[in-house]
Amino acid sequence: MATIQQIDYGTPKSTSEKMVNLTIDGVKVAVPEGTSIMRAAMEMGTQIPKLCASDMMEAFGSCRLCLVEIQGRNGTPASCTTPVAEGMVVHTQTDRLKRLRKGVMELYISEHPLDCLTCSANGDCELQDMAGAVGLREVRYGYDGQRHPNPGIDASNPYFTYEPSKCIVCSRCVRACEEVQGTFALTIAGRGFDSVVSPSQQQPFIDSECVSCGACVQACPTATLNEKRTIEIGTPEHERITTCAYCGVGCAFKAEMRGEELVRMVPWKDGKANRGHSCVKGRFAFGYATHRDRILKPMIRAKITDPWREVSWDEAINYTASEFKRIQAKYGRASVGGITSSRCTNEETFLVQKLVRAGFGNNNVDTCARVCHSPTGYGLKTTYGTSAGTQDFDSVEHSDVIMIIGANPTDGHPVFASRMKRRLRQGAKLIILDPRRIDLVRTPHIEADYHLPLKPGTNVAVVTSLAHVVVTEGLVNEAFVRERCDWDEFQDWAAFVSLPRHSPEEVEKVSGVPAEAIRGAARLYAKGGNGAIYYGLGVTEHSQGSTTVMAIANLAMATGNIGRQGVGVNPLRGQNNVQGSCDMGSFPHEVSGYRHVSEDATRAMFESLWGRPLDSEPGLRIPNMIDAALDGSFKGIYIQGEDILQSDPNTQHMAAGLAAMECVVVQDLFLIETANYAHVFLPGSTFLEKDGTFTNAERRIQPVRRVMSPLNGFEDWQITQMLSNALGFPMNYTHPSEIMDEIARLTPTFAGVSYKKLDELGSVQWPCNEAAPEGTPIMHINGFVRGKGKFVITEYVATDEKTGPRYPLLLTTGRILSQYNVGAQTRRTDNVIWHEEDVLEIHPHDAEQRGIRDGDWIKVASRAGETTLRAQITERVAPGVVYTTFHHPTTQVNVVTTEFSDWATNCPEYKVTAVQVSPSNGPSEWQEEYEELTRQSRRIAERLVAAE
Ligand code: SF4
Ligand code: SF4
Ligand code: SF4
Ligand code: FES
């Protein structure tokens, strides 16, 4: 493995199609109009010295190192800020230029500390490189000149330090924070020689508005901003490209290593999802991979009340296989099932569902998408014919109006949010439908044109009302609808949405959104140019989740906002591979590529390759498995990388179901909450320890590459393979690429995917097949996958979960930037500094009525259960609505969520729970018991580590 060089071209690539011809150092070149001279030279291989320029940001022109001479022009302009012109003749290396550049470098070096040999950036410092590039051999002003202000090293951020004495005030960090990240946390304070980089109001980084994305650290050409791990370990010596294992954005990274130690994760500029950017989780929060809590040896126990017994892999696998065989012999073929992981690779997910369908001989397989985006699959397949988003992320750069529904991109999908914010700063309009005032409603240089703070549970009413305005005010794109959609269905739908009960004035009564705001938002979306919709779990996790997805799809079709750049309907998917786990056939009714198990021809294809008959009846979903366990007919489950006890609703019900089973097998990194009910624990591997692929929210299949040996001895797919072999269903893969070849053979939308292609192209978006050998960035360009687009009637039905005198408030849930899902990974990193506990956001009015002060312990009770956490009083939530996150198991917010779920897919209604909030003295009894259980698990883990 070698070092992968990434050239910094100094300024961003121009997208112009018009070419300009010029001559640089006697060589004729042609580049797109708008290209800087610096970039034109770099592209032909001539490196002009530079310090303040970087191709991640617009040119700034402050260091004066990149000077060039242009024939016929006076002076020596900066090549980074000077665009090319037709016929221009440029010289980059003349005696005059050499003299000037040396002079500039002399000034920089005369005031820079000369501790290069011990500096953490040694060998990775652009200032050092430039001194060499300009041939600096002496400094006429000496080395003991006055230094810039040096307030001392700021090490307050857990991941990087700021050492002002090394700053050359190039402003790259400030511009990275503004242009790449869009947070505007940094400024240059002071003037002239006293200039210094200042986080917020000259505060420590940790107290500033900084969100620790690391863009400034990456941009800094010196060691002024430097990662603590690099300081501690030294500079890396080899690297591999891989994909972040946190969220559905799917950022590509260079994993930079020293031996088998990961030094740092550097966002990969050629990564098509992230374009060189990242968030705090992907860049810094990988410490969980080597955390002492990781369980590395298999364990078994006959009863869940017994202590764990550490055993060999052979014993664990044979015990599991014999238990599943025993259970099936006693209770029948359908008495066992499996759950695939949206954190594992496509290949691993595919194997788990293969094991269930062919090894277990039933279709009892499900995935965590059940509790997040299953309504997306249902809704988009019904209306458009494909269970996935329509665009690539680049598309947002062509959007004129962006509508965000039930999503909080700056916390949930931060890197895509940064791209979106850039487009908004360029002037795109913004509409937000959310009960909560998310950051994007108002953030530096961005203000939503419309924020529709709808009452939780009224999405269908409001989106249908937007359609009402579009239809009744004559804003339908009739040409598009006539050509692309079923016209009869459209007419039925148009008549339906036009009914007076869908008017904004009527809908205001149920949703609380002012009618004028609904009208204004609808007009803006329909008339504002390219309209793009992005939505999240605030749409899907409702009893009408699938209906809302179809209402959104209807709206986009009616306005012609489908099938080209800048438009579309895009679910922002949560987990890194939730799209992939759905694609791979993790649902009980569908094999890979979303084909129903009842299709004879499809089943025949699988049966002939796998040599086993497949069941034509859909199997059990997660909630059905739990119900069946309580009924006594479901007795064994194989759960790979999913903490269903913590992430699924109605915790007590889930716990009772798990406790009723005879063999619960958990394959995971840590003793997660579900493991409290497990009989077998199989240690899993992290994304750093395996090869495979993840598929992100834009259907992009990206490589995951093994950079270190699995600490547990095996990649997750190997464990599934061992189990399958022990069960008597042979699997003999030697590498995940062979699993992908099988997926491609069995799945028409993946027919053209192979590891060779991924190595060549970096990534590819499905469908990828003969018709689209390099993949499909944008779907439905010439027609919908299903043929004609289908308009579906979307009748609003109020949820059965209603507020009343006993439970007068509506609880809704979400996530925050620094934590991820149930927190199993991020809680085991320094990210805990930003979120030590889950809190309940409550409006000042509701808090005052209940005598609750900021920071007080409070009890949240629903008809399902109660939990205790601290209050945070804020106007981010409207009166009558409370909000919390679910990153910490001790709060177990799912104790209060109910069993209501989406009518079509069973996706739980996490976003609406009627609750009462009252003052409390502290954690409740079960929370203290829970704490004790966690302490016990920790002790076991420590004992096992010590025994090694
Ligand atoms: S880490 Fe990111 S948010 Fe923080 S100052 Fe740097 S660029 Fe800005
Ligand atoms: S901290 Fe680094 S990037 Fe920022 S101004 Fe100083 S040298 Fe430039
Ligand atoms: S945005 Fe998502 S994929 Fe990208 S670095 Fe952050 S967590 Fe990882
Ligand atoms: S790189 Fe052009 S002025 Fe600094």
pLDDT tens-digit map of 839-898: 899 999 999 999 999 999 998 888 878 888 899 999 888 888 898 887 666 666 666 766
Whether residue 714 has pLDDT greater than 70? yes
**Which residue, judged by its Cα, is nearest atom 2 of ligand 2?**
220
Q: Give the span between the Cα atoms of 708 and 705, in whole angstroms.
A: 9
Three-class DSSP labels, 746-763: HCHHHCCCCHHHHHHHCC
pLDDT digits (tens, 9 = 90+) for 150-206: 778 999 999 999 998 889 999 999 999 999 999 999 999 888 777 889 898 888 999
| Residue 943 neighbours by CB under 8 Å, 6+ apart | none
Q: What angle do CA 12, 16, 17 make, to 5 degrees?
A: 140
Exposed / middle / buried, residue 537 (Cβ in 10 Å: 0-12, 13-18, 19+): buried
Atom of ligand 2 nearest to the CA of 169: 5
Nearest ligand to the C-alpha atom of residue 278: 3
The whole-number average pLDDT for the span 215-235 is: 93
Distance from residue 152's CA to the centre of ligand 4 (Å) = 28
560 versus 573: the higher-pLDDT residue is 560
CA 84 vs. chain centroid, Å, equals 38
Residues linked to residue 337 through DSSP beta bridges, in sequence order: 637
Q: Give the span between the Cα atoms of 517 and 466, in whole angstroms.
A: 10
112 versus 1: the higher-pLDDT residue is 112
Q: How many CB atoms lie within 10 A of CB 235?
A: 15
The whole-number average pLDDT for the span 626-643 is: 95
Q: How many CB atoms lie within 10 A of CB 3?
A: 11
Q: Give the span between the Cα atoms of 945 and 940, in whole angstroms.
A: 9
The whole-number average pLDDT for the span 490-510 is: 97
**Which residue, judged by its Cα, is nearest atom 7 of ligand 2?**
167
Strands 19-24 and 88-91 turn out to be parallel
pLDDT value of residue 314: 97
| DSSP letter (8 states) at residue 528 | S
| Residue 423 banded pLDDT, cuts 50, 70, 90 | very high
Q: Among residues 65, 97, 75, 70, which one has the least CA distance to residue 85?
A: 70
Q: How many CB atoms lie within 10 A of CB 657?
A: 26
- Residue pointed to by tokens 């791979």: 584
**Which residue, judged by its Cα, is nearest atom 1 of ligand 3?**
415
- Residue type, position 232, single letter: E
| Residue 926 banded pLDDT, cuts 50, 70, 90 | low
Whether residue 945 has pLDDT greater than 60? no
| Residue 322 banded pLDDT, cuts 50, 70, 90 | very high
Helix ranges (DSSP H) in 37-80: 37-43
| Least confident piece of the model among 547-556, 569-578, 827-836 | 827-836
Residues linked to residue 570 through DSSP beta bridges, in sequence order: 534
pLDDT value of residue 147: 61
Q: Which residues line ligand 3 (CB under 6 A)?
A: 244, 246-247, 249-251, 274, 278-279, 281-282, 414-415
Q: From the CB of 66, is ligand 4 less than 6 Å away?
A: yes
pLDDT value of residue 370: 65
pLDDT value of residue 120: 79
Strands 636-640 and 663-668 turn out to be parallel
Q: Among residues 225, 83, 241, which one has the least CA distance to residue 160?
A: 225
Distance from residue 252's CA to the centre of ligand 1 (Å) = 19
pLDDT value of residue 815: 72
Exposed / middle / buried, residue 10 (Cβ in 10 Å: 0-12, 13-18, 19+): buried
Q: From the CB of 173, is ligand 2 less than 6 Å away?
A: yes
pLDDT value of residue 738: 98
Whether residue 948 has pLDDT greater than 50? no
The whole-number average pLDDT for the span 203-215 is: 93
Whether residue 683 has pLDDT greater than 60? yes
Distance from residue 585's CA to the centre of ligand 3 (Å) = 25
pLDDT digits (tens, 9 = 90+) for 264-300: 999 999 999 999 999 999 999 988 888 888 999 999 9
| Token pair of 232 as six digits | 């501690």
Whether residue 936 has pLDDT greater than 80? no
186 versus 4: the higher-pLDDT residue is 186
Q: At what angle do helices 545-558 and 374-383 cross, to 10 degrees?
A: 40
Whether residue 937 has pLDDT greater than 70? no
Whether residue 148 has pLDDT greater than 70? no
pLDDT value of residue 907: 67
Atom of ligand 2 nearest to the CA of 162: 1
The string of DSSP codes covering 831-848 is GGGG-SS-EEEE-HHHHH
Nearest ligand to the C-alpha atom of residue 68: 4
Phi-psi region of 187 (alpha: psi -120 to 50; beta: other; left: phi over 0): beta
Residues linked to residue 809 through DSSP beta bridges, in sequence order: 915
Contact between residue 221 and residue 125 where contact means Cβ atoms under 8 Å apart: yes
42 versus 2: the higher-pLDDT residue is 42
Q: What angle do CA 311, 314, 316 make, to 5 degrees?
A: 50
pLDDT value of residue 289: 86
The string of DSSP codes covering 290-328 is G-TT---S-EE-SSTTSPPEE--HHHHHHHHHHHHHHHH
| Least confident piece of the model among 308-322, 445-459, 602-616, 888-902 | 888-902
> Is residue 90 classed as helix, strand or coil in its secondary structure?
strand
Q: Give the span between the Cα atoms of 54 and 52, in whole angstroms.
A: 7
Q: How many CB atoms lie within 10 A of CB 922?
A: 10
pLDDT value of residue 145: 60
| Least confident piece of the model among 286-300, 306-320, 695-709, 732-746 | 286-300
Q: From the CB of 432, is ligand 2 less than 6 Å away?
A: no
Q: From the CB of 51, is ligand 4 less than 6 Å away?
A: yes
Whether residue 1 has pLDDT greater than 50? no
| Residue 389 neighbours by CB under 8 Å, 6+ apart | 380, 568, 569, 570, 571, 573, 697, 698, 699
| Token pair of 917 as six digits | 């909030």
The string of DSSP codes covering 326-379 is HHHHHH-GGGEEEEE-SSS-HHHHHHHHHIIIIIISS--EEEGGGGTTHHHHHH
CA 191 vs. chain centroid, Å, equals 40
Atom of ligand 2 nearest to the CA of 52: 8
Q: Distances from the Cα of 846 to the Cαs of 457, 803, 838, in angstroms?
A: 20, 14, 19
Rg (CA), the chain: 29
Provide, rounded to the nearest whole percent, the portion of the chain with pLDDT above 70. Answer: 92
Mean pLDDT in the chain? 90
Provide, rounded to the nearest whole percent, the portion of the chain with pLDDT above 90. Answer: 68
Distance from residue 185's CA to the centre of ligand 1 (Å) = 6
